[in-house]
Amino acid sequence: MPHFRAAFECCLLRLVQGKRKFIQPDELPEFEYIFDDLDGPAVPQPAPLEEIIPSIVLLGVPFDHLTMKTALEEIEKMIASREPHYLVTANVDFLVQSLRDLELRRILLEAHRVLCDGTPLLWASKLLGNALPERVAGSDLVPLLLERAEEKGYRIFFLGGEAEVAERAVQEAAAKYPRLIIAGHYSPPFQPLLEMDHDDICRRVRQAAPDILLVSFGCPKAEKWMSMHYRRLGVPVAIGVGGTIDFLAGRVKRAPAWMQRSGLEWVYRLLQEPRRLYRRYVDDLWFFGRAIAGQYLHCRPAEKPGDDSPGEVVLSEPTWQRIRAPGWFDAATLARNSEMWREAQRHHCVLELSGVQHIDSTGIGLLLALEKRLTARGSHLVLMDPSPTVRKVLKCLRLEHHFLTASDIFTARELLDRNGHVPASIQPENGFHATLPLIWSGEITAANEPEYWRRIEQEIRSWAEITDIIPADLAELRFIDSTGIGVLLRARKLAQKLGVTLQLRGAIGPVLDILRVSRMDWLLD
């Protein structure tokens, strides 16, 4: 019956889209090429297929299962690839901030690796049924990385920190690792993120041509800066290192090894800087504990009631496939059919979730990993008809707006057709409009800023010749990061230069929240 239903839906969809091609009987067993002429040529897929190892998701943030040793190996692979990457060493404070800051949450979701920098995170991962192997703290990783860089001849650039502290850290590193190649260091004047001289900083880094960039602006400023610029910098590895610069310079002492192993390093830090850290630690403990308890209640490990299918490929086409998820979407079930999830990276994927009775933190990790792999290959993941259980868990983890979702196969196909040939962040409707207001839709991020800015600039210049007031409606804008906020600022300045008024209005949902967190909601009229 499931196969008959899938074939019937395919026939209906072909008729709806005006593709009156008869399905031959010999096509039905494998369901191949039914939509061979819907999408045109397949999207090039240069990235290799790799096994997906589902991460453990803590408060909506996926953490990679890496030890200190494997983290160093991953960094070496990134350097060898010469492609730009950024890594995050996330602790409890990162997760608490990401609950309020949607841009930081998006950055953590898109990071090439998220490392566990906190013993409480290890405890939480064990509670949720997919324990992380060990803590990979930035303060432990950086010295080992400097040692590896000295051995391999990697070039290091120190960015951020107070000028005197950074200078001392560089001197200490040079003394301890005499053959280390320090390509440069720079401590820009302290300014809000959007007021920094980004062009000057990027010019300095590019001229130094480092292999590893250590960014010490503090969270979330460092992570937002890396997300904004890592692509154009071309540095193979950029890492936010937090207070590690202070440790290297000897300004702050590390806790004894026994306190680090037992998860009490925070006590040592608190005793050193009680005024600065007391309030933060109390708030973090309260918000983290409450949120993890909520996650445990919604997706705690549970015994499976009897046998359950590991999932199956319902339909496979040249450019997309439809997969039915297992009813018990947990770590054990996913491991039973890892090859199917590996192959799911090959094309657009419609994942049917209507029959999911239970999903744990590892199941959510697989959804995030699959989406990230598909996006990297120019494809998309659509969650079709998520069950109430799935919707409840996604809402608990604040991921309900992260995925493309569809109620049925027809809507799913429309989403794929709409997003299949252009980046998801730039929709076809972002161009000119016959009447005002201007409609800015999709996303404005560092990934699409050049093209989006060209379109906005053309619209403003064209309308400035006709009217004194140009309203721009942001209601269809799904997401905006700090680069996107910079685009809005530039747009306002351009309008002023041309002697007209640009009215930004209608921002809702994540866009409005991000503007408020950044204290830039004054841009709205």
Report how many helices (DSSP H) and strands (DSSP E) the chain contains, helices first: 21, 20
Residues in Cβ contact with 479 at an 8 Å cutoff, skipping those fewer than 6 apart: 102, 106, 425, 443, 444, 445, 510, 511, 514
Q: What pLDDT was estimated at residue 421?
A: 41
| C-alpha 503 chain-centroid distance | 30
CA distance 522 to 170: 40
The b/e string for 180-206 (b: 16+ C-beta within 10 A; e otherwise) is: bebbbbbbbeeeebbebebeebbeebe
Integer Cα distance of 426 and 435 in angstroms: 20
Q: Which DSSP category does 525 fall into? A: -
Instruction: Check pLDDT > 90 for residue 268.
Output: no
Sheet bearing 469-473, strands edge to edge? 438-439, 469-473, 501-505
Model confidence at 255, in pLDDT bands (50, 70, 90)? Answer: low
At 35, give phi and psi (nearest 5°): -110, 35
Half-sphere exposure of 19 (CA within 13 A, CB side): 15
Q: Is the pLDDT of residue 200 over 90?
A: yes
Q: What is the pLDDT of residues 92-117, one digit of tens each?
A: 999 999 999 999 999 999 999 999 99
Q: Outline where DSSP puts E strands in 7-109.
A: 56-58, 61-63, 86-90
Confidence of residue 307 (pLDDT cuts 50, 70, 90): low
- In the predicted structure, residue 317 carries a pLDDT above the cut 50: yes
Predicted pLDDT of residue 245: 83
The predicted structure's pLDDT at residue 486? 94
pLDDT at res. 273? 73
Tokens of 114: 């998220």
Q: How far apart are CA 230 and CA 363, in angstroms?
A: 30
pLDDT, tens digit, for every residue of 440-460? 988 999 989 999 999 999 999
The fraction of the chain above a pLDDT of 90, given in percent, is 60
Widest distance between CA atoms in the chain = 76
Contact 239, 89 (CB under 8 A): yes
Instruction: Give the model's pLDDT for residue 101.
Output: 93
Tell me the β-bridge partners of 90: 116
Higher pLDDT, 432 or 507: 507
pLDDT at residue 47, rounded to an integer: 58
Q: Give the least confident one: 61-75, 78-92, 236-250, 378-392.
A: 236-250
pLDDT value of position 265: 72
Q: What are phi and psi of 509, to 5 degrees?
A: 55, -135
> Which position has the higher pLDDT, 29 or 182?
182
What's residue 336's pLDDT?
Answer: 79
- pLDDT, tens digit (0-9, with 9 covering 90-100), for 458-494: 999 999 999 999 999 999 998 999 999 999 999 999 9
- Report pLDDT for 494: 96
Q: What is the pTM of this model?
A: 0.83
CB within 8 Å of 27: residues ≥ 6 apart: 33, 34
Distance between CA atoms of 383 and 323, rounded to whole angstroms? Answer: 10
Q: Per residue in 8-53, pLDDT tens?
A: 455 444 444 444 333 333 333 333 323 333 343 344 445 566 777 7
Please state the rounded mean pLDDT for residues 341-359: 91
Cis omega (within 30 of 0) on the bond before 428?
A: no
Which carries the bigger pLDDT value, residue 315 or residue 1?
315
pLDDT at 332: 80
pLDDT mean over 134-141: 91
The alpha helices in 234-360, defined as continuous H runs, are: 244-249, 257-261, 265-272, 274-299, 331-336, 338-343
pLDDT for res 434? 53
The mean pLDDT value of the chain amounts to 84
Helix ranges, 42-101 (H): 68-81, 92-100
Q: Is the peptide bond before 189 cis (omega within 30 degrees of 0)?
A: no
Joined tokens for residue 209: 């041509």
